[in-house]
A and B are shown apart, each in its own frame.
Chain A
Amino acid sequence: MEDQYTPGMEEDFKAEILEKYPSKLKKKRSRQIVINNIDDNGDVPQIHANTRTTPGILTMRGCSYAGCKGVVLGPTRDILQITHGPIGCGFYSWLTRRNQTRPETETSANYMPYAMSTDLQEEEIIFGGEKKLKAAIDEAVALFNPKAIGIFSTCPVGLIGDDVHAVAREMEAKYPHINIFGFSCEGYKGVSQSAGHHVANNKVFTDVVGLDDTPKEGKFRFNILGEYNIGGDAFEIERVVEKCGLTLHSTFSGNSNYQEFVSAHTVDLNTVMCHRSINYLAEMMETKYGIPWFKINFIGADATAKSLLKIAQFFGDKDLIAQTQKVIDEEMAKVKVVRDEVKARCEGKTAALFVGGSRAHHYQELFAEIGMKTIAAGYEFAHRDDYEGRKVMPSIVVDADSRNIEELTVTADPERYKQRKSDAEMEQFKKDGFAFEDYTGMMGDMENKALVIDDLNHYELEKLIEHMHPDIICAGIKEKYVVQKQGIPMKQLHSYDYMGPFAGFEGAINFYKEIDRLVHSKVFGLTKAPWETSPELSGLYGWNA
């Protein structure tokens, strides 16, 4: 096989990978490694996703607790979060995801730099941990007196039979001014972080959203769901939407606070960034409160512009649309200068993206903007709908691992359900090709024949590098140095390598420059010493002469 990427090599590549696997694993992986053969109707092939990782395989995936506490709730600054379990889980999820936050004032609550844990010991594992959890809540209340407390279950909690929900109810009765709720996000639930997202969505929906009907002041109020303010992305988005004249009520959950959550149902629109982690909440809020939602994307300058316009068009106000267009024009002028410069150097280079449940899709936009082609991509924990689009949702088979994640039955709120747009307006939107509940998935946006790999593992990553030799690979911290050691630039798309923001217009500029730096870094060129490439004997001749 060739060592450089050439279109059409994907089939051979797939065959070579599968060859090494025992038959059962081969069968499974053959359905998770897919060549993106897009048919004449624009339909993409089916991919096997959200399925168990095979034991012993070096996987990128984490657990349900990480999805619930780490991803969805972690970025909220004033919900005091107690991990119920042995010390490790609370320790590892302590500030490591880089969710930035900006408390309103110098003294406003911000618990994010605090990791709290019941630090269960053997005695509690044997006799039960509920007593310790209650005492821990007492101590937390005495020290912090927060508005809300979330309790996050780790693996042993479910197994020893601790009922965190009963504890939450009991402690809430003791402290009526504090909203206390528990999450059954034990690490063994589901097959990845994804289960934890769902658990988080459910609890936030039932116990937090809708407690206060006071809306935030301002016109054109909306929420952004699934934006976690890594590297300051939410700050950039806030800057831009404010400039357009929109009112961002709450972000779930980057740079967010509890008050924004409890009144989040008062908005007229929900927009969804990371479909995988939070589409459940968007759907449930629509059913209960009548808030329509659509997918947006603030990764990529063009995508940002498109998303802003769509939001403005939803509200339909002429001045708002005009102002939004003005903002876009202003910002794009700055973006274009950098983009043109970087594109001239990066055009034609290739990228491979294996990350998350939406980033592997969204970041393809940014690469395309500087002329780089995504030759392979895949998600770590996404479902078929994130690959193939929401239209496949009815045909997704619910397996044993998904079945044990509660699916809430939601009905319209008798008093607070309010249709945001009239039937006629919605009809007109549809006529104009304006889509709601509309995630069309990653594969449809990728090139025909591109390689799509779900839950990529280490062995496959090595093979991919060996044969396709992308100019850059994007993944997470565990993959970072595996890739870099092989002389390939690597960009972390979970933590951004402690940089950012990469969202919005300024984020796009940052990203272009960063990719330019990475793919043109001179350091890689120093790896080989001069004597490793020049023939040894020439030195000898010199000496003899």
Chain B
Amino acid sequence: MLLRHTPEEVKERSSLTINPAKTCQPVGAMYAALGVNRCLPHSHGSQGCCAYHRSALTRHYKEPIMATTSSFTEGASVFGGQANVLEAVTNIFNLYDPDIIAVHTTCLSEVIGDDLTQILNKAKTDGKIPEGKLVIHANTPSFKGSHITGYSSMVASFIQNFAEPTETKKMQINLLPSFVEPSDMSEIKHIAELMDVKYVMLPDTSDVVNGPMDGKFHMYPKGGTPLEGIKSMGASTKTIAMGRVGTLAAAKLLDTKLKVPYEMLDLPIGVGATDAFIEALRKAAGASVPAELMVERGKYIDVMLDMNQYTSGKKVSLVGDPDLMLGLAAFCKENDMQVLHVVSGTKPGSKFEKRIKEICGDDVIVKTGPQADMFYFHQLLQNDKPDLIFGNTYCKYIARDMDIPLIRVGFPIYDRIGHSYFPVTGYRGGLHLLDQVLDTIMDRQDRDALPEKFELVM
């Protein structure tokens, strides 16, 4: 057994997190900043933070992940990191020439109380920031929230710093996706484009962290939300936010600061949530739903129906980020599966559990926060074994020990590549996810069937 020390009996823990179902804020901030065109993320802390975050994102995407660091030493930790930032800014513009540096803090720089607003002002008045170049920051101490809130804070910081107030509105919609894959960002754009809706999506990591092989290294790939786009977000008529935990901060800011009202939706995973997204888009932009989109919808539902006998009644357990959990729970219920467990290391606020229960029924076990970790998740599974696990790569240890198939979804996925290219959002994403689920379930049926029960046609 790989996880041979995990006992079946669940005992309450208050202090020890074992096999976390979350990671720290800065990596989320780094990911969000990669989704802005010609923006270089900068980690204000020890260089280990930056090394770890770049490594995690590189393992997940198998693409270059570029980010710089303030490289704190013990001296900087005592005297403050201002000198490090000033030196870093000069070197970064000189050597790497980004349009924007997006600084995120770390536990180290937060504990010593570095005031980034003041430091970056100084950088400006000292002439360290070349004309036309921009440096912003987000506070992302690792002792608060998780990678999802770090992502959320960085996105909010882009709005705070760049989105401009205006009296004249534009016929455009703001789209704010929670922490999802580049493939999902593409899919959300695909839907808006099919509907002919003008939009600005922030961030947009598609064509950044899933770029093509063209024989060249691009420090700043062609993707990412353009700065001009972010500036114009204050002129949009509406914001559609997808995933409360990852987007609420930015959506609220657009509302209160720039008077752009928002509609908060779940991530468009499954039929209902995708319908809701399209409905919101349709109403906000006065657009009609094109036939092509109806065909995508119809194809997905067609397959759901064709194969319902294989999904119906299957018991599933979900672990990962809250916005994703809500989407996956809905997806599973629509396919007549029974959700047994939902576990997330991120604390999502009081509405989360209620929403999960609305979707899955009152019997589902929901736990979030520091001790809602994969050790606990594994214990739940030992007590009530599901047919399928939905979760990140780390679930493979549980999956193997318990001989339960795993659908890889969430962050990080270090051992498969599909997530970068094939979405789980939208109708096409639903079809793709269902295809994965069916392959998994049916492979298992083929593996386990008695010789006389082995089916040719399924």
**Chain A contacts to B: CB under 8 angstroms:** 20, 22, 25, 52-66, 82, 85-96, 106-107, 109-111, 113-122, 124-125, 132-133, 135-136, 138-140, 142-144, 154-156, 158-160, 187-192, 400-401, 404, 458-459, 462, 476-478, 480-487, 527-528
Contact = CB atoms under 8 A, between A and B. Distances in A.
B106 A155 contact: yes
A54 B72 CA distance: 10
Interface string B20-31: 101110110000
A143 B89 contact: no
Contact of B144 (A106, A122, A142, A401): A122
B119 to A, nearest CB: 12
Contact of B51 (A57, A62, A159): A62
B51 A61 contact: yes
Contacts of B404: none
Given A116-B18, A135-B15, A52 B27 contact: no
Contact of A482 (B16, B64, B95, B141): B64
Nearest to A25: B91
Contact of B58 (A136, A140, A480, A486): A480
28 contacts: A54-B71, A55-B87, A56-B87, A57-B68, A59-B47, A59-B69, A63-B48, A63-B49, A65-B48, A86-B107, A87-B20, A92-B53, A113-B3, A115-B19, A116-B17, A117-B17, A121-B370, A125-B107, A138-B15, A155-B111, A156-B107, A188-B72, A188-B77, A188-B108, A462-B217, A480-B62, A485-B215, A487-B215
A17 B233 CA distance: 41
A492 to B, nearest CB: 10
A327 B144 CA distance: 57
B214 interface: yes
A116 B15 CA distance: 10
Contacts of A63: 46-49, 51
B141 A477 contact: no
Contact of B85 (A55, A111, A113, A118): A55
Contact of B11 (A143, A144, A190): A143
A116 B16 contact: yes
B77 to A, nearest CB: 5
A192 B107 CA distance: 18
B52 interface: yes
A123 to B, nearest CB: 9
Contacts of B108: 155-156, 159, 187-188
Contact of B143 (A61, A124, A188): A124
A128 to B, nearest CB: 12
A114 B3 contact: yes
Query: Could you say which interface size class chain B belongs to?
Result: 35 or more
Contact of B397 (A113, A117, A142): A113
B134 interface: no
Interface string B37-48: 000001001111
A142 B55 contact: no
A132 B414 CA distance: 31
A245 to B, nearest CB: 33
B15 A132 contact: yes
Nearest to B75: A400
A459 B96 contact: yes
**In the A-B complex, the 3 residue pairs with the closest CB atoms:** A63-B48, A88-B24, A56-B88
Contacts of B53: 92
A22 B94 contact: yes
B94 to A, nearest CB: 7
Given A117-B20, A187-B49, A188-B76, A144 B5 contact: yes
A91 B7 contact: no
Contacts of B17: 87, 90, 116-119
